[in-house]
Amino acid sequence: MHDRAQGDSPPAEAQEPSSESQTPRFRPREGFWPYVDLPEQPTEEEMAALDPDLRAALFGSPPLPFSVSIRFQPFDGPGYERAVDIARESAEYRELGPASARVHLARFWPSDAPRLRALWQTVGGLDSVEVLVDDRPVPYARELWLPLFWFLVPRS
């Protein structure tokens, strides 16, 4: 064993490295990092797919008017093409998921009540249709909120 006196300096390997030894001996290749090409800001598709609560927590809630959204899956029948056309005319329209599990989401403002009613008359009989109020499922959305929206449809 080696005893040292208290005044002795530590061995060379335990001393502070010099500035020359702090420079790395190699530099990793740029292609090594797997996330080089990702944008720093989220894309429009990523922003649209965010959960409304998460979007509000991250960016604050934007002052949006009251809205009702209809979410429906592709279905067999003559009304499918018409339903997609009406949904595309909504204030905001998104197709979510891969082609095998596609979901259509159409948001309607109060001024779009006639288009909402036309879409509902086309897809309302399907069991897989969801009605969202301000992007959230709420109780009695079909039974209460949609009929309240029908009061906004102008009478001819």
pLDDT value, residue 25: 73
pLDDT tens sequence for the chain (156 residues): 555 555 555 555 555 555 556 776 766 666 555 555 666 777 777 777 777 778 778 888 777 788 899 999 999 888 999 999 999 999 999 888 888 889 999 999 988 989 999 999 999 888 889 999 988 888 988 888 888 888 888 876
The whole-angstrom separation of Cα 85 and Cα 100 is 20
Given a contact cutoff of 8 angstroms between Cβ atoms, the answer to whether 56 and 63 are in contact is: no
CATH of domain 64-150: 3.30.70
Residue type, 74: P
pLDDT value, residue 99: 83
3-class SS string, 24-90: CCCCCCHHHCCCCCCCCCCCHHHHHHCCHHHHHHHHCCCCCCCCEEEEECCCCCCHHHHHHHHHHCC
Query: Which residues, in sequence order, are CB contacts of 87 under 8 Å at separation 6+?
Result: 70, 72, 93, 104, 105, 106, 119
Sequence ranges of the domains in the chain: 64-150
The DSSP secondary-structure symbol of 104 reads E
